[in-house]
Chains A and B, each alone.
Chain A
């Protein structure tokens, strides 16, 4: 499993509160065998750019929390391996909370008003 190669991971970035337009950041990573897109995102946050926002939970392909658009296709990032250059985008660009995270459901009025 030692084979390594450098791949470019291009990620959608957007903070609706601060940015007028989304932009993309590109990170260079050593891809190893058995290294998922989820692993790559986690690696980026922990080592390259802690401001990157993404959501995931189970890491085993069960919860569908980690869905993202990878090279245009909606996939589970935890079961999709990083093997080549990729573009990672949120599932719904119009509903972005930040970067790859999509907004949660709105709170009902009666709880807000109390």
Chain B
């Protein structure tokens, strides 16, 4: 058995920042990561910006911003964007602590643009522009200096409890195929979102909701899990560029080309959706409009719409990347290391691009308090796996701010707890956990790859941007059938070392658990708010639903209920807001 004072599951921004904090408090942290440190998770994939109120960014970080801004205004904007579902205690730490955390990162060498940018929904420029890769590099330097231990290619499969307390983690060492037990005084969950639940996603491969499923099995509570942000305007083909938001850049981002979006009948549907702005709308609006076309049967076979430049003179298209108005697009049509030149040549010749929506960010998640405490002694959580910071929707850049603030907070709280307790009694004979891990390897049966694909398609169709009572019920029925089939999922590959099919089988079980949780949550919120759109209840109902959607594990079954939001500073709107 291995042992560390605080075990952190996940090596993204939240996990890395938490580990540094634990080490600084004189305790031994161990990061477990399914992938490689710095080469897994959404943090490194971000383009990226994080948010700091403009005044602090000016005074503390020395960046060019607008000193009229304040932490209070940053708080209010985030709350309004979140549909007033945010946990205000968490949000207070979010706006108050980021300046100091950012100052340290800059001191440690993080390179950022000298001037702040202003994102939609932010009253002032607050976006500190950098890249995920740079951020991760600095965080890892801090981890190295703090002597943080890292266990790479380790897939955590379960949290281990003794009585009511979490006393460790078990999982699969992918490099040996061995089941490993790790004792800890405290555990921090930092496994990121579960975007792989969907057919199309902007997010990395390993984000399969393992943390959500582990937490559920260990009895954790979830908040507003239905709030999943989708990105509109991503490429659906060809395969290499799937999930890249090139279409959004062309038609709706900072400096659009002026493309038309057409449904499969050739109708320019945005003219009806927003006669004034047409294609030039926000991400959310674009995602909903595209998803509605698809939902109503006017989408392409892949489940998207066409992006056409046929109405434009060729010169206008050729000139577009030359203007250099889009920082991440090269004059030669390169974006993210991909060349879109050929695709644009074909577009000029009349071959439309096929674009659609893709899962992007989990606003809801494991319920924590402002210290990252889950309510289960010994278990903390930070980053995208948690809910509460963003409420019902997220403003650009607010995810990385969340990750950094919560990482530090959870590291602090977990270390303080670990100091007061010994290692718990690690239960003997965890054959149940080990058996569950080895089972798919030992049997033959349904291909986990096939079943994952079917599940992703199903979630995309029934639990995507557009949801109805009927689509959700239908999904839940199908999920029940999948659960029955799970014991028949097996691997053709029998090798133990880095067996992708085996990993897939374990992830599949987690994805099914997550899909059920999200569906139950979406079913219960009979209104539309934030990123949650119920076609059968298309308006927000402030009187009835300005509440947090809570899910609990009641003897293995999902129990749903509502709870009042945590409001310390701003009273959330009630019934009156429905009419005005």
Candidates A45, A76, A104; contact of B175 at CB < 8 Å: A104
**Contact present for A34 and B237 (CB under 8 Å):** yes
**Contact present for B240 and A56 (CB under 8 Å):** no
**Contact present for A53 and B499 (CB under 8 Å):** yes
Candidates B30, B183, B497; contact of A17 at CB < 8 Å: B497
Candidates B206, B237, B500; contact of A1 at CB < 8 Å: B237
**Contact present for A51 and B133 (CB under 8 Å):** no
**Contact present for B149 and A51 (CB under 8 Å):** no
A58-B44 contact given A36-B240, A51-B499, CB 8 Å threshold: yes
Give per-residue flags for B236-271: 1 if the beta carbon is below 8 A from chain A beta carbons, else 0.
Answer: 011111111000000000000000000000000000
**Contact present for B238 and A32 (CB under 8 Å):** yes
**Contact present for A60 and B243 (CB under 8 Å):** yes
B176-228 interface (Cβ within 8 A of A): 183, 202, 204-206
Q: Could you say which of B159-167, B283-291, B476-484, B487-495 contacts chain A?
A: B487-495
Cβ-based interface call for A7 (8 A) = no
Q: Could you say which of B54-62, B116-124, B334-342 contacts chain A?
A: B334-342
Candidates A1, A39, A55, A111; contact of B2 at CB < 8 Å: A111
Measured CB to CB, the nearest residue on chain A to B501 is A50
Report A32 CB to chain B, min CB distance, Å. 7
Candidates B35, B346, B499; contact of A55 at CB < 8 Å: B35
Give per-residue flags for B25-57: 1 if the beta carbon is below 8 A from chain A beta carbons, else 0.
Answer: 000101000011111110011100000000000
Contacts of A57 in B (CB 8 A): 35-36, 39-41, 44-45, 204-206
C-alpha spacing A17/B177, complex, angstroms? 12
**Contact present for A50 and B491 (CB under 8 Å):** yes
Measured CB to CB, the nearest residue on chain A to B40 is A57
> Which of A50, A97, A111, A114 has the most C-beta atoms of chain B within 10 angstroms of its own C-beta?
A50
Contacts of A29 in B (CB 8 A): none
Candidates A63, A98, A101, A110; contact of B40 at CB < 8 Å: A63
Contacts of B149 in A (CB 8 A): 107-108, 111
Report B498 CB to chain A, min CB distance, Å. 4
A65-B36 contact given A33-B238, A58-B45, A60-B45, CB 8 Å threshold: yes
**Contact present for B239 and A50 (CB under 8 Å):** no
**Contact present for B238 and A105 (CB under 8 Å):** no
B310-354 interface (Cβ within 8 A of A): 336-338, 342-343, 346, 351
C-alpha spacing A76/B133, complex, angstroms? 15
C-alpha spacing A79/B342, complex, angstroms? 14
Report B154 CB to chain A, min CB distance, Å. 8
A114-B498 contact given A35-B239, A36-B240, A58-B44, CB 8 Å threshold: no
C-alpha spacing A63/B40, complex, angstroms? 7
A65-B498 contact given A34-B241, A57-B206, CB 8 Å threshold: no
Cβ-based interface call for B1 (8 A) = yes
**Contact present for B28 and A110 (CB under 8 Å):** yes
Give per-residue flags for A56-84: 1 if the beta carbon is below 8 A from chain B beta carbons, else 0.
Answer: 11111111110000000000101101000
**Contact present for B338 and A79 (CB under 8 Å):** yes
Cβ-based interface call for B103 (8 A) = no
**Contact present for B240 and A53 (CB under 8 Å):** no
> Which of A64, A79, A81, A111 has the most C-beta atoms of chain B within 10 angstroms of its own C-beta?
A111
C-alpha spacing A61/B499, complex, angstroms? 24
Report B184 CB to chain A, min CB distance, Å. 10
C-alpha spacing A59/B336, complex, angstroms? 10
Cβ-based interface call for A25 (8 A) = no
**Contact present for A98 and B498 (CB under 8 Å):** yes
**Contact present for A98 and B497 (CB under 8 Å):** yes
Cβ-based interface call for A28 (8 A) = no
Q: List 21 interface pairs A-B (beta carbons < 8 Å), by A numbering.
A: A1-B238, A33-B238, A34-B241, A50-B493, A50-B499, A51-B493, A53-B497, A55-B39, A57-B39, A60-B202, A60-B243, A62-B337, A63-B38, A63-B133, A65-B36, A98-B495, A104-B175, A107-B2, A111-B3, A111-B149, A114-B1
- Knowing that A15-B497, A63-B45 are A-B contacts, what are 17 other residue pairs whose CB atoms are under 8 Å apart, sorted by A's residue number? A1-B238, A1-B346, A34-B343, A35-B240, A38-B240, A45-B449, A50-B493, A55-B35, A55-B36, A59-B242, A62-B45, A62-B131, A98-B175, A98-B498, A104-B175, A107-B151, A114-B1
List chain A positions with a Cβ less than 8 A from chain B.
Answer: 1, 15, 17, 32-36, 38-39, 45-46, 50-65, 76, 78-79, 81, 97-99, 101, 103-105, 107-108, 110-112, 114
